[in-house]
Amino acid sequence: MDKLTGGERILRCVIRKENAGGPLISFLGARFPYHSPEEWARLAAAGAVRLNGDIPAPDRALAEGDIVQYFLADAPEPEVNTAVTVLYEDRDIVLVDKPGDLPAHPAGRYFKNTLWWLLRERLSVAEPSIINRLDRETSGVTLVAKNARAALACRRQFSERGVIKKYTAITEGAFERAVHARGYIVPAKTSAIRKKRQFEPSTEAGPAPGREAEWAETIFTPVKSAGGLSVLEARPHTGRLHQIRATLLFLGCPVVGDKMYGLDELIFLRMIEGRMTPEDPVKMRIARQALHAGELIFRHPADGRHMAVTAPLPPDMRGLTGR
């Protein structure tokens, strides 16, 4: 179990039998994915990671009972929306409505200002496993397992595509008919944004056209169009990174407010460089991407009962269309 001690500035965990034998850097990268293996190696070399009180070599093999400590930095974090609402909770799982400006997991400049931290500190979930990790700017239903057994059962449902996920997206342009988008999500190599992806249509899930290609399917159903915008229901059958956003950009109806997959990807670059123009917010219409995970339908990991959990459309998205 991970514990925060010393005025909540030291993350401490004891190595279990199943994690023994492997190198320290692999354990850190898998257990705490908010840093890459290279970043963990640098942190270890700088003394921010200790093994049994000593500064370890990154490739040091772990033994059962070893104590790993991570000394957290005191750098200020960007402000976020921490208004997390509990939708359902029992001894195995908790489902929350994540606001649209909150990272799910620690990464980059975010550690405490994340859903993971709030689950631990505000909701007292000792070992939260966030099952359906939403993008920072995507709001809605998020499933969290409270123990390893529940996490395994939940992840199995997702991997076997036994979960129904319903999103509401508000897009630019008129989306006039239902579309079953099938194809591959691949790196957007012509984009100036390194982590951007793109959708390439395909008639069937044949051999992947490259190691980084992932098969993706999404059904989009129009709800209404007005004032140059459309409200859609999106049902992804697969769970690829940026799947809905990249696919809608390919279809010519990008998500409103999307800095990376919207009308102008340079807005994203200007944002991270701190030089957004007065025209950028006007073009985006709202401060974040208009994508909301409205409903999650699955089986309870403990007893298999049918669960359907919903989260209402947030005010910023309602304000775009008057819904």
Structural domains present in the chain: 2-71 (3.10.290.10), 78-323 (3.30.2350.10)
End-to-end CA distance of the chain: 44
pLDDT, tens digit (0-9, with 9 covering 90-100), for 160-197: 999 999 999 999 999 999 999 999 999 998 999 988 99
pLDDT at residue 3 tops 60: no
Query: What single DSSP character describes residue 225?
Result: E
Rounded to 5°, the CA angle 207-208-212 comes to 160
Closest by CA to 297, choosing from 167, 166, 168, 139, is 166
Span 49-104, pLDDT tens digits: 889 888 888 888 999 999 998 877 666 778 899 999 999 999 999 999 999 999 99
Q: What is the dihedral of CA 6, 10, 15, 21, to 10 degrees?
A: -140
Percent of the chain with pLDDT strictly greater than 70: 92
How many other CB atoms are there within 10 angstroms of residue 268's CB atom? 21
How confident is the model over 280-302, as pLDDT tens digits? 999 999 999 999 999 999 999 99
pLDDT band at 149 (very low <50, low <70, confident <90, very high): very high
Alpha carbon distance 168, 165 (integer Å): 10
Strands 197-201 and 179-187: antiparallel
User: Which burial class, exposed, middle or buried, applies to 286 when counting CB atoms under 10 A from its CB (0-12, 13-18, 19+)?
Assistant: middle
* Highest-pLDDT range among 53-62, 128-137, 204-213: 128-137
Residue of 29 and 115 predicted with greater confidence: 115
| Maximum CA extent, the chain | 63
What's residue 6's pLDDT? 39
pLDDT at 159 over 70: yes
Question: Residue 134 CA to chain centroid, in angstroms?
Answer: 3
Token output for 1: 């179990």
Q: Please report which confidence band the pLDDT of residue 5 belongs to, taking 50, 70 and 90 as the band edges.
A: very low
